[in-house]
Amino acid sequence: MVRQPVSVNGVVRWRDVGLADDAQRKPKERKMVVLRHEIGDVLRDVRQRQGRTLREVSHSARVSLGYLSEVERGQKEASSELLSSICSALDVPLSTMLREVSDRLAEAEGVSVPDTVPQEFSREFENNIPDDFTENFRRGLAATNR
């Protein structure tokens, strides 16, 4: 088994990569995914990408340095208010942080999450889109492609 760096959304992680024979011989065991661990990992990754310290973020978020450290290490379950405060201090929308957590959970669970809207879904709702919206959208695309 070899560990290789893999970049996902600008974050470099290490993933075990083995031979195809090993994957066929051993059935994959699903590891238990703990939400607070994934949230903590994402918050730490965002903070480190920004080159900020725990002290800076804890001060901006108005949360103790020790508690923020425990949240990042997945030892404490943060409330939605606290997560919102931390995300504001990091200048990252809460929805973006939760999307990254969702992507990581799906990956850990072995679930494929498409980056596009499935065709069945778009076909179901395409008749509900006003014609002028579609035309304005096309004009906007044409203007940006010049």
Cα–Cα dist 40/72, whole Å: 4
Q: Write the CATH number for 100.
A: 1.10.260.40
Tokens of 65: 């340095």
Tell me which residue of 1, 18, 63, 11 sits closest to 38, measured CA to CA.
11
User: Range of 102's domain?
Assistant: 35-109
State which residues of the chain have pLDDT below 70. Answer: 1-31, 113-146
Cβ contact 61:68 at 8 Å: yes
On whether residue 139 sits in a domain, the answer given is: no
Task: Examine residue 54 and state whether it is found in any structural domain, yes or no.
Answer: yes
Q: Tell me whether residue 63 is in a domain.
A: yes
The predicted pLDDT at position 108 comes to 84
Interaxial angle between packed helices 35-49 and 80-90, expressed in degrees from 0 to 180 and rounded to the nearest 10: 20
Whether 74 is covered by a domain: the verdict is: yes
Q: How far apart are CA 17 and CA 35, in angstroms?
A: 24
Q: What is the number of structural domains in the chain?
A: 1
Residues 5/14, Cβ–Cβ less than 8 Å = yes
Residue 55 belongs to a domain: yes
Residue 69 lies in a domain: yes
With a CB cutoff of 8 Å and minimum separation 6, the contacts of 56 are: none
Structure tokens, 103: 């992507």
> What are the tens digits of pLDDT across the range 113-126?
666 666 666 666 66
The pair of three-digit structure tokens given for residue 101, joined into one six-digit string: 């957590």
Crossing angle of helices 94-109/80-90, nearest 10°? 110
Domain assignment present for residue 28? The answer is no
Q: Is pTM, for the whole model, over 0.85?
A: no
* Residue type for position 30: R
What does the pLDDT read at residue 52? Answer: 95
Whether residue 24 lies inside any domain: the answer is no
